[in-house]
C-alpha cells in the first residue's frame, strides 16, 4: 500500500473546500473563518476487534497528528461518541488543552446539531464514517461523498456556526492520505 503524508500549513483548508453559494472558496486560515464553528472528524484507524475496537498504531499516530493540527485553533469543547476508538482519537487533544470530552449520542444527530449551534465556541466532534458527513450536513455544511469505511480516516471538516455569519464548510485531509481504490 502506498502512503502519502500531507504537510498542513497555515492554509489549513486550502486543499479542498466545500462552500455554500456566495461564500469564499478558500480561507487563508481556519482561525480567520469565524469565532464559532465545528471541526468534525471520523475516528482514527481501528483494530479488527468486533466489540468496541481500539486504535491501531497508525490510528494512535493519526490522533496525535489531529492534536498537532488543532492544538492552536482555540477549541472550547470536544465531543465524542461513546466508543473506545472515538474517545481515544479525541484524547490527545483533550489532554493537551485540558478539556473534558463530552459524550454524545450518534443515533440522535439532529439533537447534537442543535446543541452545537446553541453553544458558542469552537468544537471538535469525533464520530464515525456514517455520522460525520451527516452531522456536517445537519450543521448546514457539505458532507461530500460517502466516506469509504474500510480505509478512509483522513477527512477533517470545518463548519461555521456563528449566528451573524453565513454557514461555510471546508473539507481537508490530514495525516496519512487516503487514496481512493487502495486498500
pLDDT surpassing 90 at residue 123: yes
State mean pLDDT over 156-173: 92
Confidence of residue 181 (pLDDT cuts 50, 70, 90): low
Q: What pLDDT score does 108 carry?
A: 98
> Is 14 part of a structural domain of the chain?
no
> Is 6 part of a structural domain of the chain?
no
- pLDDT, tens digit, for every residue of 6-48? 323 223 433 334 433 333 333 334 445 457 999 999 999 999 9
Torsion over CA: 77, 129, 153, 167 (sign)? negative
Are the C-beta atoms of 71 and 96 separated by less than 8 Å?
yes
> Is 82 part of a structural domain of the chain?
yes
Predicted model pTM = 0.82
> Is 65 part of a structural domain of the chain?
yes
> Is 15 part of a structural domain of the chain?
no
> Is 50 part of a structural domain of the chain?
yes
Q: What pLDDT score does 25 carry?
A: 36
- Domain with residue 81: its CATH number is 3.40.50.1240
Confidence of residue 100 (pLDDT cuts 50, 70, 90): very high
Structural domain that includes position 135: 37-160
Mean pLDDT of the chain: 84
Strand ranges inside the chain, DSSP E: 16-18, 37-42, 77-80, 101-103, 122-127, 155-160, 169-173
Between residues 179 and 174, the one the model is more confident about: 174
Overall number of domains in the chain? 1
> Is 16 part of a structural domain of the chain?
no
CA distance 125 to 139: 12
Note the Cα 88 to chain centre separation in Å: 14
Strand 37-42 and strand 155-160: the pairing is antiparallel
Between residues 14 and 175, the one the model is more confident about: 175
pLDDT surpassing 50 at residue 2: no
Q: Which residues pair with 16 in a beta bridge?
A: 171
Q: What pLDDT score does 17 carry?
A: 40
Phi, psi of 50 (to 5 degrees): -80, -35
Q: What pLDDT score does 35 carry?
A: 73
State mean pLDDT over 130-155: 96
> Is 165 part of a structural domain of the chain?
no
State mean pLDDT over 52-81: 97
Amino acid at each position: 500500500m502506498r502512503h502519502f503524508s500531507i504537510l498542513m500549513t497555515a492554509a489549513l483548508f486550502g486543499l479542498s473546500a466545500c462552500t455554500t453559494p456566495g461564500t469564499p472558496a478558500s480561507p487563508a486560515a481556519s482561525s480567520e473563518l469565524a469565532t464559532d464553528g465545528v471541526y468534525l472528524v471520523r475516528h482514527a484507524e481501528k483494530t479488527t476487534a468486533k466489540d468496541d475496537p481500539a486504535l491501531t498504531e497508525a490510528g494512535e499516530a493519526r490522533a496525535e497528528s489531529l492534536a498537532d493540527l488543532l492544538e492552536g485553533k482555540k477549541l472550547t469543547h470536544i465531543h465524542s461518541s461513546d466508543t473506545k476508538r472515538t474517545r481515544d482519537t479525541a484524547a490527545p487533544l483533550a489532554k493537551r488543552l485540558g478539556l473534558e470530552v463530552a459524550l454524545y449520542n450518534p443515533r440522535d444527530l439532529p439533537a447534537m446539531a442543535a446543541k452545537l449551534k446553541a453553544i458558542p465556541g469552537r468544537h471538535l466532534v469525533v464520530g464515525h464514517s456514517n455520522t460525520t458527513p451527516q452531522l456536517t450536513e445537519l450543521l448546514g455544511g457539505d458532507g461530500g461523498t460517502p466516506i469509504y469505511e474500510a480505509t478512509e480516516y483522513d477527512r477533517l471538516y470545518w463548519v461555521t456556526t456563528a449566528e451573524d455569519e453565513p454557514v461555510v464548510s471546508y473539507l481537508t485531509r490530514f495525516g496519512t492520505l487516503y487514496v481512493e481504490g487502495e486498500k
